[in-house]
């Protein structure tokens, strides 16, 4: 559905042949947070110039984890798996949609 909409666009760091003199332990690192469908948080660190993957296997349960905790990737083969939080959010968005729809209808009828 929303593939490729992960916000890492534009963050590519141009790494050229220059600047490779200092490699190894001194390489700066960045910690990136990932959340899996079970709500586990893991924070692997990557070299600054490394390309951060969109998903990361949760070290605790093995599910794919994503950088957006509100939109964790769904593990292939377990599409029916839904966390309690995900279930609540889905219900809420349905209710929100109903409210928005009613508002729009009311506006159309000129009752607002």
* Residues annotated within a binding site for Zn(2+): 36, 40, 58, 61
69 binds Zn ion (CB under 5 A): no
Please give the Cα distance from 57 to 64 (Å, whole number). Answer: 4
Point out which span in 7-15, 20-28, 53-61, 76-84 binds Zn ion (CB under 5 A): 53-61
Pick from 8, 32, 33, 38 the residue near Zn ion by CB under 5 A: 38
How many chain residues bind Zn ion (CB under 5 A)? 6
Cite the beta strand spans of the chain per DSSP E: 29-31, 34-36, 41-42, 45-47, 55-57, 64-66
Question: According to DSSP H, which parts of 1-112 are helical?
Answer: 84-109
Q: Applying CB under 5 A, which residues contact Zn ion?
A: 36, 38, 40, 58, 60-61
């Amino acid at each position: 559905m929303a593939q490729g909409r992960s916000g890492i666009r534009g963050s590519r760091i141009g790494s050229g042949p220059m600047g490779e003199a200092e490699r190894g332990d001194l390489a700066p690192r960045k910690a990136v947070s990932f959340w899996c469908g079970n709500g586990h948080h893991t924070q692997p660190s990557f070299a600054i110039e490394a390309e951060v993957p969109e998903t990361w296997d949760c070290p605790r349960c093995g599910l794919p984890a994503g950088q957006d905790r509100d939109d964790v990737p769904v593990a292939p083969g377990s599409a029916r798996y839904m966390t309690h939080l995900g279930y609540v959010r889905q219900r809420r968005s349905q209710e929100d949609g109903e409210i928005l729809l009613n508002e729009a209808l009311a506006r159309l009828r000129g009752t607002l």
